[in-house]
Chains A and B, each alone.
Chain A
Amino acid sequence: MELVAIFVSAILINNFVLYYFLGICPFLGVSKKIESAFSMGLAVTFVMSITAVVSWAINNWILIPYELDYLEIVSFILVIASLVQLVEMFIRKISPPLYQALGIYLPLITTNCAIMGLALLASLNEYNFVETVIFGVGSGLGFTLAIILMAGIREQLDLAEIPEPLKGAGIALIVAGIMALAFSGFIGMIT
């Protein structure tokens, strides 16, 4: 039951984008088309899941036993950067068009605070291994959900009549705000 709570909470209630406001950069940058938004979501989910696992291992097997927890952030950065490199190579090999579509936002997952936030939150909440995995996958899926919803809305927005000064980033930020408001309705679902 505890695991289900963590999973649902990571997707809906404590959604990284819409609750913590982390990872806004790719959320706005790659949410113009549903396909590329979906791929971005998958890439982030992959990096988040693996980061959660590896950072848990480093944290519990190396940092805590040797009392090096002040190295937490540095070592997590190392994990994230390597994983993003790996994902980048993989996507470039598998699908060059997708590599083009994700563009600069793919290497930017490295500096995506949502990933770092995930690793730090997992260690802050003192999750055990299984909980960390569930938390990582759930958070990634939550990001994917948010970015796909956003892309769906923005595809429709292209056809809408938007006042001149609000076109582009302006309306996107307003939409993100309204989405966050809607998602705040989930607070209190799990007590």
Chain B
Amino acid sequence: MDILVPVITMTALGFLFSIGLVLAYRKLRVEEDPKIEEVMEMLPQANCGACGYSGCRAFAEAVVQGKVEPSGCTVGGESVANDIAAALGVQAGEIIKKVARVHCRGTKEAAKDRGFYVGISTCSASHLVGGNKQCSYGCLGFGDCVRVCTFDAMHMNNEGLPVVSEEKCTACGKCVDACPRNILDLCHLSQNILVFCRSLDRGPTARKVCKNACISCGICARASPEAIVMEDNLAIIKDYKKIAPEHIPLIEKCPTDAIGRLSKDDEG
């Protein structure tokens, strides 16, 4: 029978407080737009922040208030944007599918090691001490980008470079932030010519440390002067849409393959 006293006491206390809360809720209830919840359910719930808001909830609020177009969610892509647009009766907005690209071809074989690195096996740690590769701009190969990817869209290939799956990549940009050497970038999916090097070293040095480095010979820039420029010993594609089809064979004459089309190896 002794057990009854505490049971009754706690039940009574709990009841008392819940009545208090119910009364308070009646007074303090906040009316919220039910559309926010509706949009929320359509979103991918990745909370990745690719849209520029602090999470899916914040994005849903912004969409409902009309501050941003439904296409702002790159992760959901076209289908989600269209669903939201239909539910809210607004325009979905233009969707440009982007994908993360690896701008380095410094494979284990091509880019020589600077020494034998035995520190913490992350790119950021290796980068702090100058990196394990001779090239001070290239991929370090420890896969920090692969680890931050929440969509399972990246993996390291046998040659020690990260590979992005076009299908799975949602262009959230986490890998771009994770890479201490800024090798990753979000590019339009349709961009077929890329520069696979970030080295600002001068030609001879660049060639010495990596077989696939841009040696700033300028062949590509002469082939397509409107689209490609040489800056700081590196070819830069200013506007890939200006690369005419007839320029492509000339660009592909690159002696080190530092610029060109994506090959099978670069895709997932």
Contacts and interface: CB of A to CB of B under 8 A. Distances in A.
Interface of A: 58, 62, 66, 68, 71, 74-75, 78-79, 82, 85-86, 89-90, 92-93, 96, 164
Contacts, number: 43
Interface in B1-56: 5-6, 9-10, 13-14, 17-18, 20-21, 24-25, 28-30
Nearest to A54: B17
Contacts of A90: 24, 28
A66 B5 contact: yes
Contact of B21 (A66, A82, A93, A96): A82
Interface of B: 5-6, 9-10, 13-14, 17-18, 20-21, 24-25, 28-30, 128
A10 to B, nearest CB: 26
A62 B8 CA distance: 12
Given A66-B5, A164-B128, A75 B10 contact: yes
Given A92-B30, A93-B30, 15 more contacts: A58-B13, A66-B5, A68-B5, A75-B10, A78-B13, A78-B14, A78-B17, A82-B20, A82-B21, A86-B20, A89-B24, A89-B25, A89-B29, A90-B28, A96-B30
Contact of A71 (B10, B20, B21, B128): B10
A86 B18 CA distance: 11
- 5 shortest A-B CB distances, which residue pairs? A82-B17, A89-B28, A93-B28, A86-B24, A92-B30
Contacts of B25: 89
Contacts of B14: 78
Contacts of A164: 128
Contacts of A82: 17-18, 20-21
Contacts of A85: 21, 24
Contacts of A86: 20-21, 24
Contacts of A66: 5, 9
A58 B10 CA distance: 11
Contacts of B18: 82
A79 B5 contact: no
Nearest to A86: B24
Nearest to B124: A164
A74 to B, nearest CB: 7
